[in-house]
Structure 1
Amino acid sequence: MDQQSSSESYPLISDEKLRYADTDRLGHINNTVFAMLFETGYVELLYGDRAPKIEGQSLFRISRLAIELVGETVWPGEVKIGTRVREIADSSVELEQAMFQEDRCVATAKCAVVLFDKATSRPCSLSPTMRQHLGKSMRVEN
């Protein structure tokens, strides 16, 4: 993922206000907080107001999350989390994310989520409605 990408290259932008509790003793955002901040973006995509209701007893689970810290993130402040879909498979979705503070990319993430049936704990296929919804956030190749 291009670390220098602007937030405009992400169809979904989520905003988060940083908290003092998110910091280390030097005022930097602690590295353990980034997973929670990125969660804001993918949860909004998968479960937000514009997302279709998931059918049956299904839910999304993270199967992989890789975060790369590429710049200093400080408190006080806010961050923007950009989220886009890289690939849609039968029961899973690959996401790309980037976090920006004051228009600087400070972190990137690659995330894979799988739709599971709660009763069987097995993957299940994405509905056509969910595929269509996710397709609206696909990465556009330049």
Structure 2
Amino acid sequence: MTAPDVVAAEVPPIFTHWTEDRIRISDLDFQKHVNNATFTALFANARFDFLSKVVRPLIGADDQLVIARLEVDFKGSLAYGEPVKTGTAIARVGTRSLNLAQVMKQSDRQVALAKAVFVLVDGTTRQSAAWPEAVRRLVENRDALSF
């Protein structure tokens, strides 16, 4: 199984947290195509919004959320002038890792999928730490997350 297949296979079917963004002129390359780096920036915006609202309130103020892995599967192109919507959901919470799944859409077309793995770093020891039980419960209550 190739990496893109792994990303596609692990994307949860329901996304309740959506972030809307727009393409800027500076996101276009010389052929007027949206640069692939823009996809990762849009995914990052949506992850930041999701983590700030959903996960950050449940961890220590000095603890850090560190991205350990990012996979992107490009499915289509983005066009200038149309809003971009990115859905984010928790796919899995392990002992020391949290997997986020994301889908990016424009005009109801799926244009990209992403999977990000985060670790929690204790603000005092600067070592990886186990996720609090409140974060683990987010997977159980995934349907209740809506913003």
Bin the TM-score by the shorter chain: 0.7 to 0.9
SS of corresponding position for 1:71: coil
Unaligned runs of 5+ in 1: none
Q: Where in structure 1 do 4 or more consecutive aligned residues deviate above 6 Å?
A: none
How many correspondences in the alignment?
A: 134
1:100 and 2:102 matched: no
Decide which moves more: 42-51 or 21-30.
42-51
1:28 to 29, 33, 37: 33
1:131 and 2:131 matched: no
Alignment of 1:1-142 (within 5 A): 1=8, 9-48=14-53, 52-137=57-142
Unaligned runs of 5+ in 2: 1-7
Q: Is the 8 A contact 1:85 1:135 kept in 2?
A: no
Decide which moves more: 10-19 or 50-59.
50-59
Instruction: Give the counterpart letter for 2:71 in structure 1.
Output: A
The alpha carbon displacement at 1:30 in A equals: 0.4
Alpha-carbon distance in 2 for matches of 1:89, 1:48: 20
Decide which moves more: 51-60 or 108-117.
51-60
The TM-score with structure 2 as length reference comes to 0.79
Q: CA RMSD in A?
A: 2.2
Alpha-carbon distance in 2 for matches of 1:124, 1:15: 32
The TM-score with structure 1 as length reference comes to 0.82
Higher helix proportion (structure 1 or 2): 2
SS of corresponding position for 2:79: coil
Alpha-carbon distance in 2 for matches of 1:115, 1:50: 11
The alpha carbon displacement at 1:82 in A equals: 0.8
Q: Is the 8 A contact 2:55 2:135 kept in 1?
A: no
